[in-house]
Amino acid sequence: MTQLTGDSVAELFAGAVTLAKAGEKVAPRGMATREVLDVHMRLTQPRARLLHAPPARILNPAFAVAETVWHLSGSDDPWIFDYNARLRRYADDGVLRGAYGPRMRHWAGRVDQLYRVVDILKEDADSRRALIQLYDPALDSAGHKDVPCTLGFAFRLRAGRLHMTTTMRGQDVWIGMPYDLFFYTVLHELVAGWLGADLGDFHHQVGSLHIYDNHLDDAEQLTSLAASEIMPDLTTPWDGFDQLLRHVQAGELTGHPGWDAMSETMDSYRWWRNGAYGEAWRQAGRVGGPLGQALTSWYSELERRAGSQSSADAAAGVR
């Protein structure tokens, strides 16, 4: 097993890209890929979660936030396509059948696995049963286009620190990993807060760490990266959590500084999608912090890509 450790997502991303580029050539579903098997990553500061690596890799932070809210709220609703239109290609009848949210919050229509994790660790702090399962053979053998890459999450409370492990069957390092780690570490931070625990290490177990050959040229432009900034605190009480998520999705302020930045990020991108670019820029400036910086970089990238296209058309492919 190959092991990588970093204090921020930027460090892990740089190391994982270098590792994947040197991987073995494989072609699952006919797609040329470089792959390394059985990789373990450890992130020592989970709140250093937002990758900012221009010009080689520029993220849409509004999608990172929206996907996180979408998962946490238990949703598979199509509003997520407003933030990443490319996801439609993986939908069956307009629905992403592998969406994590329903499996996490409403397994089989009745089990809130997120609530159970907190409940289990409150009853037995040393428990090894605080798990969230995402892969479901009953659903995922049906031939749908969208099969979860993430198998599940494990939470362990030790010496007052909550450690989290994510297990993935496969991780696309260039496109998916920065967004995935954003969501996973928000989940980690929230559960730690609900338990009154300190935030421990985040562990990322990947069966197949890979990069597609069509991203190799972009990856060659990746040079030394500055460490990711620590993002604002997101801990919030369990009571009212689902309502808070609804406010964030709607672009409404919550009174929580960290979540208000998330809400304003989503709202700014809605302005952009609607063609109100000046208002989107102004709101991005008000967001401030790592999210505001990432938003302004993303809008600059969309303008660069636009060329003969409209900015709205360029924004359709946000990953």
* Cβ–Cβ under 8 Å, residues 132 and 153: yes
Q: pTM for the complete prediction?
A: 0.95
pLDDT, position 1 = 87
pLDDT, position 223 = 82
- Half-sphere exposure in the Cβ direction for 184 (13 Å, CA): 31
* Cβ–Cβ under 8 Å, residues 97 and 145: yes
CA–CA–CA angle 278, 283, 285 (5° rounding): 100
Range 241-259 average pLDDT? 97
pLDDT, position 315 = 56
Is it the case that residue 312 has pLDDT exceeding 70? no
Beta-carbon contacts of residue 107 (< 8 Å; ≥ 6 apart)? 113, 133
Residue length of the chain: 319
Letter for the amino acid at 260?
A: D
Is it the case that residue 308 has pLDDT exceeding 50? no
What is the rounded CA–CA span in Å between residue 18 and residue 3?
A: 13
What is the rounded CA–CA span in Å between residue 176 and residue 170?
A: 10
What is the rounded CA–CA span in Å between residue 15 and residue 22?
A: 11
What is the rounded CA–CA span in Å between residue 196 and residue 199?
A: 9
**Residues classed as catalytic:** 149
Q: Per residue in 272-286, pLDDT tens? A: 999 999 999 999 999
Range 175-193 average pLDDT? 98
Is it the case that residue 311 has pLDDT exceeding 60? no
Is it the case that residue 313 has pLDDT exceeding 60? no
Tokens 């460090």: give the residue.
Answer: 11
Q: pLDDT-based confidence at 16, cuts 50/70/90? A: very high
Range 89-106 average pLDDT? 97
Range 179-190 average pLDDT? 98
Q: How many helices (H) and strands (E) does the chain have?
A: 12, 8
Q: pLDDT-based confidence at 307, cuts 50/70/90? A: confident
pLDDT, position 316 = 56
Q: Per residue in 39-87, pLDDT tens? A: 999 999 999 999 999 999 999 999 999 999 999 999 999 999 999 999 9
* Cβ–Cβ under 8 Å, residues 249 and 264: no
User: Across all residues in the chain, what is the average pLDDT?
Assistant: 95
Is it the case that residue 319 has pLDDT exceeding 80? no
Specify the 3-state DSSP secondary structure of 124.
coil
Is it the case that residue 314 has pLDDT exceeding 60? no
Q: pLDDT-based confidence at 224, cuts 50/70/90? A: confident
Which domains are delineated in the chain?
A: 2-221 (3.30.572.10)
